C-alpha cells in the first residue's frame, strides 16, 4: 500500500507542475501577441536613371602599307648602249623630262633619209597635180604619186618613233630612285633603269575583318601613324574598297588616301591604322545597374511603381556605361542603386539618382 501511495503522490505532483508550466507559457505567449502591432508594407527606396539610346561605336585596328599615288618601274623599249644618264637618285623630275639616252646614230640617219624621201615624193606629187589640171598627165599617175608620198610620210613617222625609243622620258612628275646603270652600259628591254614615284599623295592599304567591313563606307576618316615617325598622326580618307571578302582570311581590303605634301613618308612605309566604325543603336545603362545570375545578365526596371527583371545581352562597356540588347526602349526607368533584396513585383519608391548628389554650399 505504501508503494501505491508513493506512485499516486508523484503523479499528482507531475500534474501540478505540468499545469503550471502550461499556464505560464500561455500567459507569456498572449502577452507577446498583444505586444506585436501589425506592420504596414512599405515600398523600397531605389535610385533610378532612364535608359538612353546610343550608337555602338568601336575602333578597328589594322596594319597598313603605304603606296605612291603613281609608281612606275622604267625599262628601255629597245636594246642599246647608254650614252647619257640624265638623273640622280632622289631627284624630283617633271613629266617628259629626259632621264636616259641610248646610242641613236643609226636612227637619226634614218629620220634624215625619210625626210628626204618625203620631200622628193611631195615634189613629184605637186608637179603631177599641176600637169593633171592641164590634161597632160593621167589621173593614175597622180594617184601613184600621192600614194608614194603617203608611204614616205609613214616611213618618216616610223623612223622618228625608233629614234624616240632611244630616249627614256619621265612619264609623270615624281621622285626617281636609285639606278645601277652607267654611261657605256648595254641595256635590253629587260633591264630595270630606275623606279619613279609620285609621293605627293600616298595610298595606305589594309585589311579589316568581315564584321567591321560591313560598317565601313567610302569617305570614312582614318587615323594613321607611321612606325618610322612616332608621335605624328596622319588623317586619311577611305577612297576605295575591295569588291569581295577574302574567303581564306575572311577580311576585306581597304584603301585610304593621305596627303604627303612635305614628302615625310616613303612608299612601303608601314602604318598603324585606326578606324572608328558605327554599328547598331542600343539602349545604354549605367554599369552598376547590370546584375548577373546563372541565367545571364539582367537589370531591374520600374513599371507602375513595381520592379521587374529584364534579361539583357551585354554588347560593350564604355566609360562606366554598358550597351545592352534586350526588351528595353528609350526612357525606361532602370534601378541603379538599391537593388539588394529586390524581387519581381516588389513595390519601390523611385527617386532620380542625380537628386541624391551632394549639393554645393552656397556662399554667404
* Mean per-residue pLDDT, 187-210: 93
By mean pLDDT, which of 30-39, 92-101, 185-194, 248-257 is the weakest? 30-39
Report domain 104-165's class.
mainly alpha
Residue, of 150 and 8, whose pLDDT is higher: 150
**What percent of the chain clears pLDDT 70, i.e. is strictly above it?**
85
Q: Is the pLDDT of residue 37 over 80?
A: no
* Mean per-residue pLDDT, 299-312: 88
Report domain 61-67+198-279's class.
mainly beta
Ranges 51-65, 182-196, 203-217, most confident = 182-196
* Mean per-residue pLDDT, 82-111: 93
pTM, rounded to two decimals: 0.61
User: What is the pLDDT, as a whole number, of residue 155?
Assistant: 93
What architecture (CATH level 2) is domain 76-103+166-192?
A: Beta Barrel (2.40)
- For residue 46, what pLDDT band results from cuts at 50, 70 and 90? confident
- For residue 27, what pLDDT band results from cuts at 50, 70 and 90? low
pLDDT in tens, 69-84: 999 999 999 999 999 9
pLDDT in tens, 203-213: 999 999 888 88
Break the chain into its structural domains and give their ranges: 47-55+281-354, 61-67+198-279, 76-103+166-192, 104-165
- For 174-198, b/e burial (b = at least 16 CB within 10 A) is bbbbebebeeeeebeeeeebbbbbb
Does the 47-55+281-354 domain belong in CATH 2.40.420.20? yes
Strands (E) located in 158-269: 167-169, 174-176, 186-187, 194-209, 221-226, 233-241, 251-259
Q: Is the pLDDT of residue 126 over 70?
A: yes
By mean pLDDT, which of 205-209, 215-219, 237-241 is the weakest? 215-219
CA dihedral 70, 75, 76, 81 (to 10 degrees): 130
Q: Decide if 279 contacts 53 (C-beta within 8 A).
A: no
User: What is the pLDDT, as a whole number, of residue 251?
Assistant: 92
**Cell numbers of 13, please?**
505532483
User: What is the pLDDT, as a whole number, of residue 239?
Assistant: 93
3-state SS, residue 159: helix
Amino acid at each position: 500500500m505504501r508503494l501505491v501511495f508513493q506512485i499516486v503522490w508523484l503523479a499528482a505532483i507531475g500534474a501540478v507542475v505540468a499545469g503550471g508550466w502550461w499556464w505560464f507559457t500561455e500567459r507569456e505567449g498572449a502577452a507577446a501577441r498583444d505586444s506585436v502591432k501589425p506592420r504596414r508594407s512599405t515600398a523600397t527606396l531605389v535610385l533610378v536613371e532612364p535608359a538612353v539610346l546610343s550608337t555602338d561605336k568601336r575602333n578597328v585596328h589594322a596594319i597598313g602599307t603605304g603606296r605612291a599615288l603613281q609608281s612606275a618601274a622604267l625599262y628601255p623599249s629597245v636594246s642599246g648602249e647608254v650614252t647619257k644618264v640624265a638623273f640622280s637618285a632622289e631627284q624630283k623630275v617633271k613629266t617628259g623630262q629626259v632621264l636616259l639616252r641610248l646610242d641613236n646614230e643609226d636612227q637619226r640617219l634614218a629620220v634624215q633619209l625619210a625626210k628626204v624621201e618625203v620631200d622628193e615624193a611631195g615634189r613629184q606629187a605637186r608637179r603631177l597635180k599641176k600637169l593633171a589640171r592641164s590634161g597632160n598627165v593621167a589621173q593614175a599617175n597622180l594617184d601613184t604619186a600621192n600614194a608614194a608620198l603617203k608611204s614616205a610620210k609613214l616611213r618618216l613617222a616610223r623612223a622618228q618613233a625608233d629614234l624616240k625609243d632611244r630616249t627614256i622620258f619621265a612619264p609623270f612628275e615624281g621622285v626617281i630612285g636609285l639606278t645601277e646603270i652607267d654611261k657605256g652600259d648595254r641595256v635590253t628591254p629587260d633591264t630595270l633603269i630606275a623606279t619613279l614615284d609620285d609621293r605627293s599623295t600616298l595610298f595606305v592599304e589594309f585589311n579589316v575583318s568581315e564584321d567591321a567591313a560591313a560598317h565601313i563606307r567610302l569617305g570614312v576618316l582614318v587615323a594613321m601613324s607611321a612606325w618610322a615617325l612616332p608621335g605624328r598622326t596622319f588623317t586619311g580618307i577611305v577612297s576605295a574598297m575591295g569588291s569581295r571578302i577574302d574567303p581564306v582570311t575572311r577580311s576585306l581590303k581597304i584603301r585610304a588616301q593621305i596627303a604627303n605634301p612635305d614628302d615625310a613618308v616613303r612608299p612601303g612605309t608601314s602604318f598603324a591604322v585606326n578606324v572608328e566604325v558605327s554599328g547598331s543603336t542600343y539602349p545604354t545603362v549605367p554599369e552598376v545597374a547590370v546584375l548577373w545570375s546563372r541565367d545571364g545578365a539582367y537589370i531591374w526596371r520600374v513599371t507602375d511603381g513595381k520592379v521587374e527583371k529584364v534579361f539583357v545581352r551585354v554588347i560593350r562597356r564604355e566609360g562606366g556605361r554598358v550597351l545592352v540588347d534586350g526588351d528595353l526602349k528609350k526612357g525606361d526607368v532602370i534601378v541603379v542603386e538599391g537593388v539588394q533584396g529586390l524581387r519581381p513585383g516588389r513595390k519601390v519608391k523611385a527617386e532620380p539618382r542625380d537628386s541624391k548628389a551632394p549639393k554645393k554650399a552656397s556662399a554667404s
